[in-house]
Amino acid sequence: MGMTIIEKILASRSGQAKVSPGDVVVVDVDCQVLEDMSFFHFGRTGPRDILKVWDPSKVVVIYDHDVPAPSARTAAIQDAGREFIKEFAITRFHDIGRHGICHAVVADHAYALPGTVLVCGDSHTCSAGAFNCAARGVSGPDTLYAITTGKTWFRVGETIRYDLDGRLPAGVSMKDVFLHIAGTYGDHATQNVEFGGSGLPWLGMNARRTLTTMGAELSAEFATFEADDVLLDYIKERNPEPFEAQDPDPDATYRARRTIQLADIEPLVALPDAVIDNSVPVGQVAGVPIQQAYIGSCANGTLDDLKVAAEVVSGRQVAPGVRLIVTPATQLIYRQAIKAGYVEKLVDAGAVVTNATCGACYGGHMGVLGPGETCITASTRNFKGRMGDPTAQIYMASPATVAASALAGVIAHPGEFFRGDV
């Protein structure tokens, strides 16, 4: 029998003809991404030093979680990181000013290449699966192992194949597709998800990354897209390195094959505390008062997300008593959003547009929730306490639904406000 995309990449990078579910494989790591939190684990401010780096040209360092530093401690940790970068002559370094959420910076520069292996000590690393890349969030010591030895291990899981067919209706986004999958099929722990289908030509890289990034929230091991012209053209403009994309074999073995008719997807909301088995149509919670609306993160801080938010709020005002906080995922996206006029429309409507950072998504800074507050968020996670106080209620939705809710002051259907095409 043939192999799925992820099985083919893991076979190729572990030097084997075939891998199967249940195998544990040791693979060569092609790209090792470190973010600022990594320097809690090693370096001058950490508990130990890295003494050797396997290949500095494979390492990318990107500051994102605590930027600019909100405390003296994080400032010291970032300074230690700069020392490490100098010591090992790492050239791909995105310091403050050229920074962004690491997964989005990886996309900006196409550091993730088809058929390769990429690891990072942040769970949303699966984002780069949109690049036909075996990208996975690993734990802190795994990043040290990969940087020092050039290798890591993976447990090969079974794969669920999703065929995305047709086109999304206006005002409906891949976040809604994610909420549909999480609400209908639940978690995918120990399994991979693979995406293809006839709808791919209409899904840009930003839309695909929203879905693969949320693969972490499905608890999937890997989330990978087929390599098509949309992907190959995107890479051609950004990264000249050679690569070999991996297509699924026609006789690949899947645990299940599921078809998603994109035209049938409607705006959904995940209720507080979980996204698994927790999605409802917006109408069921319409009218719930909110104090904060957030659009950002590695899943929803793309230029497309900012465009949708700007179109929804354009010429209107955020409701009194509501904070609309918008965080572009990278400094590059921020600049593009300024040039396109999105930032002006958002700020004119009363939104705060912050610097690029993981920020409020993980309850770090720039939009932390207080006790008893209610937030609707287009970000990655709505766990209890995720964005601040554990008594805060976090609803999860698409950028269009979040922007519409910010205008209404209560959870609202984006159709009431939406005027443009996604």
Taking a C-beta distance cutoff of 8 angstroms, is the pair 143, 32 a contact? yes
Backbone angles phi, psi at 260, to 5 degrees: -110, 115
Q: How far is the CB of 346 from other proteins (least distance, A)?
A: 27
Which of 50, 120, 121 lies closest to 83, judged by CA? 50
DSSP string over 333-356: HHHHHHHTTHHHHHHHTT-EEPPS
Neighbours of 24 (CB within 10 A): 10
Least separation in angstroms between CB 42 and other proteins? 7
Residue closer to other proteins, measured from CB, 73 or 258: 73
Interface positions with other proteins (CB under 8 A): 24, 40, 42, 44-52, 72-74, 76, 79-80, 83, 121-123, 136-142, 144-145, 148-149, 153, 155, 157, 187, 189-190, 216-217, 219, 221, 274, 276, 362-364, 381, 383-386, 388, 390
Token digits of residue 406: 């910010």
Give the dihedral sign, CA 377/379/383/384. negative
For the bound state, the minimum distance from the C-beta of residue 383 to other proteins, rounded and expressed in Å, comes to: 5
Amino acid at 90: I
329, two tokens: 């995922």
State the minimum distance, in angstroms, from the CB of residue 94 to other proteins: 19
Question: Which CB sits closer to other proteins, 276 or 366?
Answer: 276
Work out how close the CB of 146 gets to other proteins at its nearest, in angstroms, rounded to a whole number: 11
Q: How far is the CB of 269 from other proteins (least distance, A)?
A: 18
C-beta of 87 vs 416, nearer to other proteins: 87
| Contact in structure between 232 and 245 (CB atoms under 8 Å) | yes
d(CA 375, CA 394) in angstroms, rounded, equals 5
With respect to other proteins, which residue has the nearer C-beta, 69 or 288?
Answer: 69
DSSP 87: H
How far CA 394 is from CA of 74, 168, 365, 410, in Å, comes to 26, 26, 16, 13
- Rounded-to-integer distance, Cα 392 and Cα 370, Å: 7
Is the Cβ of residue 79 or residue 348 nearer to other proteins in the bound state?
79
* H-type alpha helices, 189-313: 205-213, 229-236, 282-285, 297-300, 303-313
Instruction: Please report how close the Cβ of residue 219 comes to other proteins at its closest, in angstroms.
Output: 5
Distance CA 242, CA 245 (A): 10
Shorter beta-carbon distance to other proteins: residue 138 or 205:
138
The minimum distance between CB 141 and other proteins, in angstroms, equals: 4
- Comparing CB distances to other proteins, the nearer of 40 and 202 is 40
In the complex, what is the shortest distance from the CB of residue 298 to other proteins, in angstroms, rounded to a whole number? 12
Distance CA 291, CA 259 (A): 37
Cβ-based nearer residue to other proteins, 217 or 311: 217
Q: Which is nearer to other proteins, 189 or 232 (CB)?
A: 189
Facing residues of 314 across strands?
none
C-alpha 23/C-alpha 19 separation (Å) is: 7
